[in-house]
């Protein structure tokens, strides 16, 4: 316990206490008067008026109460206070993690981590200084809730009721955790103070490389008022290295959760149909174990709500992994972190199912405190085969590669024949068109591609939506590619050699994104616009060794399958992850569209002219249901007279399913250990002392009046 103004209190006490006591030393100077009886003069002999000094001090309850009231007032003037943390500023940013792992039920008393974190945050708000009559500033705070996105729940305020209400309103989501957007919001609400000329580094030629000073906050932020960031999380945040507070700021990490918590969860879920037999369906389920021993959960597959099969999975125990964490600013802040690498496993279901279905995968027999990743859904469209047109002047390699694919229809056309079909409308029967050395005909002005689905080989789309060809690059090869993209998944492009690679640049206005890079720029790109979707190979495949490699045939099959929305080889297109924006395209002319989320809440939607709808971000796992009046697509059904489409929302995040809380977090510039106490402020007691003084005065007044009236 310390005192803010002890000197003022001591001076006041030196004056007030003696003054009060001296009043009780005064005595009456009485005049002698002869009377017949003293019976009626009992009250007259009481000391109602002091007019002489130095009587003997007697026991007096009123004096005791007055001294107590005076003592309370004097202590209030001294401003007693207790330090209950390391609050270094009057501005507090309360950042509460509401991501999936915060739904783990190990917060004590059956509560989730989020519920425990909210209670601790409310305690923190209650401990904030409210200011005083002596000029001390009241502490203010803001509340930010975050998962993969972030929102300001309450702007800076000193109103504790508003802060408590904001914290209590935060709802759990099933999205993964990300701190980047939350930190950007916090910085956007910091009062900006322009840096003075002396704040500018004298060397204007300072390094601006990727590891250079541009990672520092702007000068206006560095010059702003200090803030204390309160981070309420279990530490399961994948991008903490983007959190770069200014040098004058402090960060307090309030951890939550049981360090011994472990989980078995579904971290991968995929369905594929065989190319040659589309009715044959294979469902792959990836599993993860963080329990200290090997586990053998049962995995149940249900189709349209009816149990279909069950498999027993064996998942190994985690293995130890050591990592080194070092601060960016201090070589002394180095930690050797030993963390278990989760055990991996999985099961495979194979079945014949030509119809579409909703597949549900559940874990059985392995209870854990994190149920979010114990179930997953897949929306499986019905089996179908693709109709493809190949437009070429004569390419033996291309014709041979496509001839072996299980296609419903494969037509080889010359450029003139295809242009005639486009003009007559007959080309609409093709699901995918493969263009060899040419671009789609009848492309609207200012667009890179005409509406449709295209696989373009050896041609470079231009226009503002397209690419910039800077000429020949020479002999080339692939140096990197997106291994997670459905078209390139499982492919190895290292052996591919290109006779004449082009120097390609993707401008900011382009609708293209690179899928594979050569040393001269993009080699394979994807175009996605409102009317068109295309995969483009930006070199002549005949001038390379790619047609002689098996990866070329696999690439063609994957690209055609990816471009054809009606093909059900990859059911992942009818899926979204929590935290993402759901984007779908309804059939043209769809009206009265709505979406029902996994919690049963229904939201009206307004499709764009091309049928596209967007909603989100998605907050929960489960099935999202789209309904509208109008035509149905290949994967849609009709329920209650309305066209219906299901979209599955699954977590499938190995990092989020590793639920053991972190005992420290490594930020961009420092390592922050978990706070050992829940509050971080200075607690003042002068208000309570003044209330106590008032209560004693009221008691003294009551006793005095009773004594006078008796």
Q: What pLDDT, in 10s, does the model give residues 232-278?
A: 999 989 899 889 888 888 899 999 999 889 999 999 999 888 766 77
CA–CA separation, 235 and 667 (whole Å) = 11
User: Based on C-alpha coordinates, what's the Rg of the chain?
Assistant: 37
* Residues of each domain in the chain carrying CATH 3.40.50.880: 387-563
629 has pLDDT over 90: yes
Binning pLDDT at 50, 70 and 90, where does residue 498 land? very high
Q: What is the mean pLDDT of residues 428-433?
A: 86
Calculate the alpha carbon distances from 80 to 88, 130, 678 in Å: 19, 15, 21
List pLDDT tens digits, range 459-470: 888 877 788 888
Decide: pTM greater than 0.75: no
- pLDDT(198) > 60: no
What is the distance between the alpha carbons of residues 674 and 252, in angstroms, rounded to a whole number?
7
* CA distances from residue 390 to 8, 85, 175, 438, 471 in whole angstroms, order as listed: 94, 71, 42, 11, 27
C-alpha 535/C-alpha 538 separation (Å) is 10
Question: Is 617 within 8 Å of 170 (Cβ atoms)?
Answer: no
Q: pLDDT band at residue 169, thresholds of 50, 70 and 90?
A: very high
Q: 280-304, pLDDT tens digit by residue?
A: 899 999 999 999 999 999 999 999 9
pLDDT at 217 > cutoff 70: no
Residue 583's SS3 state is strand
644 forms bridges with which residues in the sheet?
627, 637
- What pLDDT shows up at residue 142? 95
At residue 129 the predicted structure's pLDDT band, cuts being 50, 70 and 90, is confident
For 483, the 3-state DSSP assignment is: coil
Phi-psi region of 268 (alpha: psi -120 to 50; beta: other; left: phi over 0): beta
Per-residue pLDDT band for 335 (boundaries 50, 70, 90) equals low
Q: Residue 516 pLDDT > 90, yes or no?
A: yes
Residue 308: predicted pLDDT: 92
Asked if 151 contacts 145 with a C-beta cutoff of 8 angstroms, the reply is yes
Q: Is the pLDDT of residue 433 over 50?
A: yes
In CATH, what class is 264-383? mainly beta
Instruction: Report pLDDT for 27.
Output: 55
Q: Read off the pLDDT of residues 306-324 as tens digits, 9 standing for 90 and up.
A: 999 999 999 999 987 655 5
**The predicted structure's pLDDT at residue 264:** 94
Integer CA distances (angstroms), 406 to 274, 385, 388, 420, in order? 9, 7, 11, 27
The pLDDT, as a whole number, for residue 678 is 43
What's the confidence (pLDDT) of residue 205?
Answer: 40
Domain covering 579-649, topology: Immunoglobulin-like (2.60.40)
DSSP strand pairing (409-413 vs 387-391): parallel
Cα four-point dihedral sign 547, 548, 551, 557: positive
Q: Residue 336 pairs with which residues in a beta bridge?
A: 324
Per-residue pLDDT tens over the stretch 371-398: 999 999 999 888 776 889 999 988 777 8
Distance, in Å, from the CA atom of 669 to the CA atom of 697, rounded to the nearest integer, reads 55
Arithmetic mean of pLDDT over the chain: 81
pLDDT at 533 over 50: yes
Q: Which two tokens stand for residue 211?
A: 């590891």
- Extract the tokens encoding 409: 């229809």
> Which one of 2.50.20.10, 3.40.50.880, 3.40.630.10, 3.20.20.70 gives the CATH number of domain 387-563?
3.40.50.880
Taking 90 as the threshold, does the pLDDT of residue 699 lie above it? no
pLDDT digit string, tens, across residues 396-429: 778 778 887 777 788 899 999 999 988 887 888 8
Which H or E run contains 420? helix 415-424
Give the range among 13-17, 514-518, 532-536, 705-709 with minimum mean pLDDT.
Answer: 705-709
Task: List, by residue range, all CATH 2.60.40.10 domains of the chain.
Answer: 264-383
Q: Tell me what pLDDT residue 565 has.
A: 56
Mean pLDDT of 529-539: 85
DSSP string, 594-615: EEE-TTS-EEEE---TTSEEEE
For residue 426, the model assigns a pLDDT of 81
Sign of the C-alpha dihedral computed for residues 381, 382, 385 and 391 taken in this order = negative
Q: How far apart are CA 254 and CA 263, in angstroms?
A: 22
Residue 148 has pLDDT above 50, yes or no: yes
Q: Assess contact for 378 and 283: CB atoms under 8 A.
A: yes
Q: Does domain 91-193+219-260+659-680 have CATH number 3.40.50.300?
A: no
- What 3-state class would DSSP assign to 402? helix
Q: Where is 391: in which H helix or E strand?
A: strand 387-391
* Residues sharing a CB contact under 8 Å with residue 122, sequence separation 6 or more, in sequence order: 164, 167, 168
Is pLDDT of 222 > 70?
no
What pLDDT does 78 receive? 74
Structure tokens at 491: 């492919």
Cα separation of 13 and 3, whole Å? 15
pLDDT at 570: 38
Confidence of residue 24 (pLDDT cuts 50, 70, 90): low
3-state secondary structure of 682: strand
Asked if pLDDT for residue 567 goes beyond 50, the answer is no
Distance in angstroms (rounded) separating the CA atoms of residues 404 and 642: 40
Instruction: Please determine, for residue 167, whether its predicted confidence score (pLDDT) is greater than 80.
Output: yes
């Amino acid at each position: 316990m310390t005192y803010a103004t002890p000197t003022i209190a001591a001076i006041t006490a030196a004056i007030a206490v003696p003054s009060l006591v001296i009043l009780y030393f005064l005595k009456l100077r009485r005049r002698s008067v002869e009377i017949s009886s003293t019976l009626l003069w009992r009250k007259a002999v009481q000391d109602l008026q002091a007019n002489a000094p130095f009587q003997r001090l007697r026991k007096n309850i009123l004096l005791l109460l007055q001294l107590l009231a005076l003592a309370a007032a004097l202590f209030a003037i001294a401003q007693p206070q207790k330090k209950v943390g390391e609050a270094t500023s009057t501005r507090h940013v309360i950042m509460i993690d509401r991501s999936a792992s915060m739904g783990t039920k190990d917060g004590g008393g059956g509560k989730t981590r989020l519920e425990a974190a909210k209670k601790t945050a409310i305690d923190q708000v209650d401990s904030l200084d409210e200011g005083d009559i002596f000029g001390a500033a009241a502490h203010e705070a803001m509340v930010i809730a975050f998962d993969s996105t972030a929102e300001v729940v309450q702007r800076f305020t000193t109103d504790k009721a508003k802060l408590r209400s904001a914290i209590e309103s935060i709802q759990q989501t099933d999205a993964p955790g990300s701190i980047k957007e939350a930190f950007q919001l916090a910085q956007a609400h910091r009062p900006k103070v322009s840096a003075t000329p002396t704040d500018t580094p004298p060397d204007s030629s300072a390094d601006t490389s990727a590891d250079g000073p541009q990672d520092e906050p702007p000068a206006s932020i560095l010059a702003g008022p200090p803030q204390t960031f309160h981070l309420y999380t279990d530490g399961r945040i994948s991008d903490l290295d983007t959190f770069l507070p200014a040098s004058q700021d402090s960060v307090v990490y309030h951890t939550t959760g049981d360090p011994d918590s472990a989980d078995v969860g579904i971290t991968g879920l995929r369905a594929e149909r065989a190319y040659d037999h589309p009715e044959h369906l294979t469902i792959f389920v990836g599993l993860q174990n963080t329990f200290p021993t090997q586990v053998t959960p049962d995995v149940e597959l249900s189709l349209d709500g009816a149990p279909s099969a069950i498999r027993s999975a064996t998942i190994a125990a985690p293995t130890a992994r050591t990592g080194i964490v070092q601060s960016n600013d201090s070589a002394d802040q180095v930690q050797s972190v030993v963390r278990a690498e989760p055990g991996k496993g999985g099961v495979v279901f194979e079945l014949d199912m030509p119809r579409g279905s909703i597949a549900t995968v559940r874990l059985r027999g392995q209870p854990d405190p994190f149920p979010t990743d114990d179930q997953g859904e897949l929306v499986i469209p019905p089996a179908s085969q693709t109709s493809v047109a190949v437009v070429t002047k004569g390419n033996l390699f291309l014709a041979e590669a496509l001839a072996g694919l299980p296609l419903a229809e494969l037509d080889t056309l010359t450029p003139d024949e295809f242009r005639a079909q486009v003009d007559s409308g007959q080309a609409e029967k093709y699901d995918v068109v493969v263009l060899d050395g040419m671009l789609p005909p009848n492309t609207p002005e200012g667009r890179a591609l005409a509406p449709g689905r295209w696989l373009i080989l050896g041609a470079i789309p231009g226009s503002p939506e397209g690419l910039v060809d800077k000429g020949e690059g020479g002999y080339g090869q692939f140096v990197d590619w997106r291994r997670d993209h459905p078209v390139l998944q499982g492919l190895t492009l290292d052996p591919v050699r290109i006779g004449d690679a082009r120097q390609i640049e993707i401008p900011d206005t382009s609708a293209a994104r690179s899928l594979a890079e050569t040393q001269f720029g993009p080699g394979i790109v994807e175009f996605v616009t409102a009317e068109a979707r295309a995969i483009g190979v930006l070199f002549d495949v005949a001038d390379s060794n790619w047609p002689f490699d098996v990866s070329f045939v696999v690439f063609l099959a994957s690209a055609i399958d990816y471009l054809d929305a009606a093909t059900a080889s990859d059911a992942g297109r009818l899926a979204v992850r929590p935290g993402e924006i759901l984007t779908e395209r309804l059939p043209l002319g769809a009206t009265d569209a709505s979406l029902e989320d996994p919690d049963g809440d229904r939201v009206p939607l307004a499709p764009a002219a091309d049928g596209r709808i967007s909603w989100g971000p998605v907050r929960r796992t489960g099935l999202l249901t789209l309904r509208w009046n109008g035509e149905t697509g290949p994967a849609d059904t009709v329920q209650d007279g309305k066209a219906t489409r299901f979209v599955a929302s699954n977590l499938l995040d190995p990092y989020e399913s590793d639920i053991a809380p972190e005992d420290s977090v490594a930020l961009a510039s420092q390592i922050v250990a978990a706070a050992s106490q829940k509050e971080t402020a200075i607690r003042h007691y002068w208000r309570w002392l003044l209330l106590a003084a008032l209560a004693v005065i009221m008691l003294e007044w009551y006793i005095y009046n009773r004594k006078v009236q008796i």
